[in-house]
Structure 1
């Protein structure tokens, strides 16, 4: 059955590739012309697709996989096919005979067809599964909140293709999971239920300490045609959501590590540099005017420089417009500005209320030391203080600090004269890191622009 489905999927993909090429030829040349090298190129692309599409996992089961990930694989696989085809055509010295416009039409049309077919199939499967058909029975072994959440996630998303048939509660006397499925506390009864009902999957929703239970289940079903999967409960020990990564060829679960993969930060890096460059160019007149005002307000340099911690604790020098009169402080001591602070000049007071003193930090962004959006950096002396009294404070530096951030658009900026204020700021910063996305960055930037930079807490 699966081989027939795979053959059908491959045939459908072949039709999409050829149909897209024919349509591109009709649009580009008005008709299909005999003798053009397009036929050779299309045949070559079909052969390459037969090899690369399975390698990219396009014919593996979609069950339990998000549709966006599948479509991304299709897009990348088709581009890889076209790239390989071009390389071969160049090697055969036939590339100069191919119309670039035709090739672009073909790439877009066939790629669109490959994606559209999968969207239609996915939508059809979703409707079928919502009707209670084409579902794979799952038995879950677990206990407590993690087990209950897993059952609820499966029941709440039938379009993923799974149905919870039975649960084995590893804690005696506990039928208190609050789920509407059969629950066993006796292991032999659970095993009999799994085999009697033809359950196809067993998921071990257990903490890492339940090694004995894990081994017991694996030993029991070693010779059954049942998939046994381990979905570890790491919530009690993991700071961020424990993602699985490939580490020197072995799977590893992140317990304390940045939840944002480096490759995911590429769009953020590009956006930061472009935004910072545009801001520095657009705000050049304001920079000149503020620089003159600062210079006339009191003796001293235009810019205030201070060491801060960046991503992974790397120290850098941050830039601000100077808002205070020059003064001396004891080594290792940084006194926060307070309301009616005599050190602040009149010009500096205006700059701090409007956050215009932060504008030179676009230079730090352009240099790659900061980001447009991220946790606000604090003086190193304050870091050393708060990391000892606020849980997980130091993990704010898992990513680059920012000019604005989730805490700031939610009102947590300015003086932190009480530990509770800093705790709230840290709470918002960690929420940002856990839930980071490029769209969240754009939302924060827009909120900063809409709400303005003015704050009654800044002085």
Structure 2
């Protein structure tokens, strides 16, 4: 993480919180893979199975698939415990499917696998239910209790203080706020926390051995920030500058350096670095396995489409793909027309253009199966924002702010919006806005386990046949 150096004081001020604020992220990042691995080791020990060979490979697979952090998203109103257990059920189902597809289940002792599958969610519930409550006490008992002083009484400071106080697992106690403004100009939720003005901050920090200071002054207050940093040189407090970039609609915000200069990524693809390899690798593996399994079904559908009505088997349409570049995607033809011009009418309920076989294919999403070929071609992903026709893109990019941001990633066969009730026709601008909000939420919080959850949820959405016509 790069730092911003004050040229007047030489004091290093970190632009984004690290330290204790990374504790819950680290806990959520490691809890599931560590618990799953330990439970597998214990299960092998109980049934006298050596933890080697296939069990070691299984542990590595489980660790990789569960290595992510919990992030709340629109449409999910579950606790961290429920989310962790739900994620484990998805991962366990995928591992069982892979074992069945590769015919490797016989190499394992079914007692070990059964105990592991059942005991892991129980252990996760205990870890997520008990450890966050005891972590602050343990940190306090070992002298790691932190005291945060927030310099600034603005909305950003209120959000930070509220978040810390609602997260006891951080082990951070907010002692108070320092600000030069009159109380009536401060955020109402922070007025009772004022300890003094900024001139008193350094002396307070020295007297009370403050560990942490978060500076939430606006970035326009550069002179005040530098002066404050200079005054704090004589303390031992760790100092963090929290920039007010929350004014932007952040997509995968992160810090980087270019030629030694710190840069804040305000809008970035989630697939940078190793994430790009994970995403593309999972796409290739999933698309290959699925195409092998559905090849007979696709052949049968192709024959049925050819015999049901005049026209080609595949419908090819131009869509916007990665970075807004035009791509061609494949679908089994379900209509008597093949619209791909400047004016395209979305399919509606009881649409006369849809053939009888096409209605069945659209209701069951079987018409989308050829898009797994697009995945292998690199044009699409298994999971991502659904691609819209070029004509629709040109219309909605003018009506919806941030519409084109969804093209920072490859479009998907299924997506977060589709498993949250926004599948099919978008008959109003408001409905399209809702779909875009889900697409952008997916970009903000992407993880491989989230992709797996969406895939499994898609199966239930398809079975319900909602908004599919």
Q: TM-score, normalised by structure 1?
A: 0.69
- What is the CA-CA distance between 1:326 and the residue it aligns to? 3.7
Which of 307, 310, 319 matches 2:321?
Answer: 310
Shift in CA distance, 399/350, structure 1 to aligned 2, threshold 3 Å: same
Structure 2 unmatched ranges of 5 or more:
1-17, 34-51, 60-126
| 1:153 matches 2:153 | no
**CA separation in 2, counterparts of 1:219 and 1:415?**
58
**CA separation in 1, counterparts of 2:295 and 2:465?**
24
Residue equivalent to 1:401: 411
| 1:438 matches 2:432 | no
Residue equivalent to 1:341: 351
SS in 2 for 1:319: strand
Shift in CA distance, 379/453, structure 1 to aligned 2, threshold 3 Å: farther
Which of 442, 445, 455 matches 2:465?
Answer: 455
Shift in CA distance, 175/239, structure 1 to aligned 2, threshold 3 Å: closer
Bigger shift: 281-290 or 250-259?
Answer: 250-259
Asked if structure 2 preserves the Cα contact closer than 8 Å seen for 1:166 and 1:194, the reply is no
| 1:66 matches 2:77 | no
**CA separation in 1, counterparts of 2:428 and 2:146?**
54
**CA separation in 2, counterparts of 1:257 and 1:206?**
25
Q: TM-score, normalised by structure 2?
A: 0.67
- What is the CA-CA distance between 1:295 and the residue it aligns to? 0.8
Which of 123, 135, 144 matches 2:145?
Answer: 135
- What is the CA-CA distance between 1:218 and the residue it aligns to? 1.7
SS in 2 for 1:244: strand
Asked if structure 2 preserves the Cα contact closer than 8 Å seen for 1:376 and 1:403, the reply is yes
Q: Which has the larger radius of gyration?
A: 1
Residue equivalent to 2:69: none
**CA separation in 2, counterparts of 1:370 and 1:187?**
53
Shift in CA distance, 344/210, structure 1 to aligned 2, threshold 3 Å: same
Shift in CA distance, 323/246, structure 1 to aligned 2, threshold 3 Å: same
- C-alpha root-mean-square deviation of aligned residues, in Å? 3.4
Residue equivalent to 1:165: 175
Which of 203, 213, 227 matches 2:214?
Answer: 203
| 1:252 matches 2:209 | no
SS in 2 for 1:178: helix
Shift in CA distance, 176/62, structure 1 to aligned 2, threshold 3 Å: closer
Residue equivalent to 2:336: 325
Matches within 5 A, 1:241-320: 242-320=253-331
Shift in CA distance, 447/355, structure 1 to aligned 2, threshold 3 Å: same
- Of structures 1 and 2, the one with the larger relative CO (CA 8 A, separation 6+) is 2
Structure 1 unmatched ranges of 5 or more:
1-60, 76-100, 109-118
CA-to-aligned-CA distance 1:387-434 (integer Å, 9 cap, x gap): 110121111112111111111111211112211111111111112211
**CA separation in 1, counterparts of 2:189 and 2:25?**
32
Which of 368, 379, 391 matches 1:381?
Answer: 391
Bigger shift: 61-70 or 221-230?
Answer: 61-70
**CA separation in 2, counterparts of 1:168 and 1:62?**
21
- What is the CA-CA distance between 1:132 and the residue it aligns to? 8.7
SS in 1 for 2:398: helix
**CA separation in 2, counterparts of 1:123 and 1:335?**
55
CA-to-aligned-CA distance 1:74-111 (integer Å, 9 cap, x gap): x9xxxxxxxxxxxxxxxxxxxxxxxxx9xxx9xx9xxx
